[in-house]
Structure 1
Amino acid sequence: MLGDGRPYHRMTLDLLRGLGTQAPTPWIVEHGYLRPGLILVETWGMGGMSQIPAAFRASGAPAAGQGAPGAAFPGSFARYAALDVGYHLANLCAGRLLYPHYRPYAEDGPIREYAGWIGKGLALPRRRAAAARAAARIAAHRGPVFLFPLQLAGDYQIRNYGTGEPLSVILRRVMDSFAAHAPSDALLVVRQHPLDNGLAHWGRQVEQAGLGDRVVFQDGGSSAPVMARAAGVVTVNSTMGLEAILKGLPCHVLGRAIYALPGLVSEGALEAFWSAPRAPDSDRVKAFEAFLRRDYHVPGSFDGPGALVGAENLADRLALPPPPRFPA
């Protein structure tokens, strides 16, 4: 199955868990936790239901070793968009006729989703100018910089493994905590997810929080300059949290994530993180990355030039005996 969060996936996994030791192993694939050019392969659940934390603890944090190398397979937003439009167009034209009892899982239907993207496209010049101003403000700031990367509000990592709150509520809680507890010279960067359809108007929500020049909303542009000078990253469970850890940056996790482990993330309350972020243990980070590469990723992608590579590597991995099962 692609991911584990959709209702049909969750029902299937619940049924299999009910079979106990007699259950066949469910295999889950997704875009890799480590990117680019890697496909995730795990069993029984991902994110908050992943086997990875328990398996890593059971391994005794093995020494860093060779794992699946990533590859920069050429990406194409146009190809991605064409596949998406083709899929939804077929559903709109024939889905109700051929599968009348199917229930969609997405919070936003394709018409509303595409309306958001059209609006983003029409506003592209204004968005680029705003992104340039945000980048300039971040570069000019002389105090500590903290990053809060927004995820997609309808992503199952938020819906199933977040804090139990809507993303808008989480955003406001993070900003309120920053305003009350961060050093006076600190800057909070709220970064919009690149695949966000723009319908939530996150920038407006950030402006209305009342933090003034203590917060910057970033929609577009590279995240590298922010990460390069960040004092810490706060996340629900984004892969950007794992990216921060691999760069040696302190990371505070609000939800359930595979990397929310001692020695990797900054433990304790969010209120204390702003003034005393704790960097991860470098040896444990290296061991965790090698563990992920070796046991849970294969080279490839789901479309484009990396699709055949990915299919071949997935077939090889699925032909192996399943890994031991751990309680989630």
Structure 2
Amino acid sequence: MACSVAQRHNVRVFVFEEGYIRPNYITLEESGVNGNSSLIGKPLDLNESSERDISGVKNPRRVFRNMAFCAMSYYLACAALSWRFTDYVHHRPLNPISEGGKWLLSVMRKVRFKVSQRKLPKLFEHDLINQYFLCPLQVHCDMQISAHSEFTSVEHFIGKVVSSFAQHAEQDHCLVFKHHPMDRGYTDYTTLINKLAFEHSVEDRVYYVHDLELPSLLKGARGTVLINSTVGMSSLLHKTPVKTLGQAVYDRAELTSQADLDAFWREPGEVDLSAYQAFRDYLVEKNQINGSFYKRLPDTETTTGLSWSREMLLEHSYTPDLIDSAKPPTLQLVAGRDLDQTVSEESTAYGKLASR
């Protein structure tokens, strides 16, 4: 909504998001990200040479501690000040006690699954290698599911995948659902997956795993089926074919399977690693910033604590030439009606900015 209002008034909008490439990157795109990205359906010149040396990517260490502190601070602030913003709607409950309970449950489940699923890594790395399809699940409240796919929920996605797999996959192939680690304390799909597998007579071919290493699972998989998770990029990196069921910036004919899901089980295709590398380099140059929202990069002199490509630095740096000093700005209402007079303080501030 905010983007559409701004664009109606010819205001350029830039959106931050977690990186399309994980870890070590954040995304910055004009007009929107993910399903709203201008890259969706856009022909790209992937042969364009990049001026950026992407070999020296820095790794912000121990980010989780900072992220947890920011999350706790945010929830406490929301709880204390929610009475002032009664119309605000958040995608998760903002009760710090409830959220704390979820994270405590997450820790308990992590310990339990580590013990109960300790034999599964060997199974997938040896006995079932190249005999299973991986389905990484997204967090239950991910807006990319409801806004940029046909699915109304993760449960909806699971149901479609199990049904298609049971009807069209080879009899000796398996299906592996991997739970999102950040959603461990919020959801548990064990009952649903077991029920669906039983109803479709594939209970001995469907697995539901939690804290197994994602790279190892990707390396041994025949293919990856997902909605629009950034795991798709990781899958391509490991040469594992990808089928997306939602809108994703990497869902392109040169990168992912364009067949329907029913056909993908038998003909997943192959990954063009050179096309993937070219696309990855393009993203790094155009809209990926080396760094983290929660911690400065080590040995970085920029004010933001991030490492910017030359092109992005020029695009997002302030230059007086971009300001038309002949037209001081006026305040506008959301509906777009000019106020009767220009606010003098704003004009004064504008003059100071333009003279720098």
Same fold flag (TM > 0.5): yes
Instruction: Specify the alignment match of 1:114 in structure 2.
Output: 100
SS at match of 1:132: coil
> SS state of the match for residue 286, structure 2?
helix
2:317 — aligned with what? 319
- Give distance in 2, aligned partners of 1:64 and 1:275: 37
What secondary structure does 2:120 align onto? helix
State whether residues 241 and 270 of structure 2, in contact with CA within 8 Å, keep that contact through their aligned partners in structure 1. Answer: yes
Matched, 1:148 2:139: no
Written as runs of structure 1 = structure 2, the 5 A alignment for 1:120-199 is: 120-139=106-125, 140-141=127-128, 144-199=131-186
Instruction: Tell me whether 1:282 sits opposite 2:273 in the alignment.
Output: yes
Gaps of 5+ in 2: 320-356
Q: 1:53 to 1:113 in 2, by over 3 A?
A: same
Q: Does 1:212 align with 2:203?
A: yes
How many equivalent residue pairs?
Answer: 304
What amino acid does structure 1 have at the position aligned with 2:91? Answer: A
1:6 aligned residue: none
Q: Distance in 2 between matches of 1:266 and 1:37?
A: 27
The DSSP-based 3-state class of the residue aligned with 2:117 is helix
Residue 98 of structure 2 is aligned to residue 100 of structure 1: no
Amino acid of the residue matched to residue 293 of structure 1? V
Tell me which amino acid in the other structure corresponds to 2:265.
Answer: W
2:6 to 2, 16, 31: 16
Q: How far did residue 76 of structure 1 move?
A: 3.9
Greater CA drift, 122-131 or 238-247: 122-131
Once the two structures are TM-superposed, the CA of residue 176 in structure 1 deviates from its matched residue by 1.3
State the TM-score, normalized to the length of structure 2: 0.78
Counterpart for residue 286 of structure 2: 295
* 3-state secondary structure, aligned to 1:136: helix
The structural deviation recorded for 1:158 is 1.1
Instruction: Give the direction of change, closer, same or farther, for the CA distance of 1:49–1:143 in structure 2 (3 Å limit).
Output: closer
Contact kept in structure 2, 1:64 and 1:290, CA below 8 Å: no
Question: CA 1:320–1:298 in structure 2 vs 1: closer, same or farther (change >3 Å)?
Answer: farther
Q: Helix, strand or coil: the match of 1:88? A: helix
Please name the residue that 2:218 is paired with. Answer: 227
CA distance in 1, matches of 2:274, 2:230: 20
- The answer on whether the counterparts of 1:143 and 1:185 sit within 8 Å (CA) in structure 2 is no
Q: 1:66 to 1:282 in 2, by over 3 A?
A: farther
Shift of 1:15: 1.1
Counterpart in 1 of 2:257?
A: 266
**Does the CA-based 8 Å contact 1:64-1:287 persist in structure 2?**
no
Q: Distance in 1 between matches of 2:306 and 2:128?
A: 48
Which residue of the partner structure matches residue 8 of structure 1?
none
Q: Which residue of 2 aligns with 1:37?
A: 24
- Identity in percent: 23
Query: RCO higher in 1 or 2 (8 Å CA, sep ≥ 6)?
Result: 1
Superposition deviation, residue 125 in structure 1: 2.7
SS at match of 2:204: helix
> Aligned runs of 1:238-253 on 2, under 5 Å?
238-253=229-244
2:324 maps to which residue?
A: none
Gaps of 5+ in 1: 1-10, 322-328
Alpha-carbon distance in 1 for matches of 2:129, 2:290: 40
CA-CA distance at 1:226 after TM superposition: 0.8
Aligned amino acid, residue 127 of structure 1: F
Name the CA shift for 1:217/1:285 in 2 (closer, same or farther; >3 Å). same
Q: Which amino acid aligns with 1:15?
A: V
How far apart are the structure 2 equivalents of 1:144 and 1:93? 52
Change beyond 3 A, Cα 1:298–1:95: same
Say if 1:68 and 1:293, in contact at 8 Å, map to a contact too.
no
Pairwise CA distance, 1:265: 0.7
Amino acid corresponding to residue 247 of structure 1 in structure 2: H
Displacement after TM superposition at 1:301 (Å): 0.8
Q: Is the 8 A contact 2:103 2:185 kept in 1?
A: yes
Shift of 1:252: 0.4
Q: What is the Cα deviation at residue 13 of structure 1?
A: 0.8
For 1:233 and 1:312, locate their aligned partners in 2 and report how far apart those are by CA, in whole Å: 32
SS of the equivalent of 1:234 reads: strand
Aligned to 1:39, the other structure's residue is in SS state strand
- Give the counterpart letter for 2:4 in structure 1: D
Give the Å deviation of 1:107. 3.6
Which range moved further: 147-156 or 81-90? 81-90
Greater helix fraction, Structure 1 or Structure 2: 1
Asked if the contact 2:149–2:246 (Cα under 8 Å) also holds between the matched residues in 1, the reply is: yes
Q: Which amino acid aligns with 2:211?
A: G
C-alpha distance 142-29 of structure 1, shift in aligned 2 (>3 A): closer
Residues 21-100 of structure 1 mapped to structure 2, 5 A cutoff: 23-55=10-42, 57=43, 59-63=44-48, 65-67=50-52, 69=54, 70-96=57-83, 99-100=84-85
| Contact 1:37-1:299 within 8 A present in 2 as well | yes
SS in structure 1 opposite 2:181? coil
